[in-house]
Structures are given as C-alpha cells and as structure tokens.
Amino acid sequence: MNQINPKKLLNSKWTAVKSINKEKHFLITKVTFDEEGVVILCVIEAIISNRQIEIDWRDLKNIDLWKQGWK
C-alpha cells in the first residue's frame, strides 16, 4: 500500500500500473478539502494529453493500480 499524506497530494506524480487510454504518467492538479480537512475532490491530469480525470484519492494507495513517481 502506498503511504499518502492528503495535504501533499497537490502536484505529486503518479504512474498507472496499467495504461489508461495509452497514458501512464499523471500529475495531481487539483485537491479540494472540506472544513474538516477531508479531501472531497482530487483531479489527476495525464502528462501527454493534458486530459483531466476526477478520481478517488484513496485509489492511489492501491499498489496494483498506481506507483508513486514517474517510472
């Protein structure tokens, strides 16, 4: 399991284990918190196409789906 601090998500780099639309490298471009500091929105952007996708940030903890950094 990837260890993630939600406050450090913004601008972090991720590699998809399985390509998503032939894209593997992504950057977190937007993170929104509620009043209690809980993540309510996380947007990940593909590096090549600049395509943006809203994801559940907890999915990034799954090592079968994501690796931290660009590999």
Residue 1 covered by a domain: no
Phi/psi class of residue 52: alpha, beta or left (left: φ > 0; alpha: ψ in -120 to 50)? beta
Assigned token pair, 30:
């937007």
Assigned token pair, 62:
């799954």
2: pLDDT strictly greater than 90: no
CB 66 within 8 A of CB 36: no
Q: Quick one: pLDDT at residue 7?
A: 93
Residue 55 covered by a domain: yes
In which domain, by residue range, is 10 found? Answer: 6-68
pTM for the structure as a whole: 0.91
Instruction: Give tens-digit pLDDT for 11-63.
Output: 999 999 999 999 999 999 999 999 999 999 999 999 999 999 999 999 999 99
Assigned token pair, 2:
């990837």
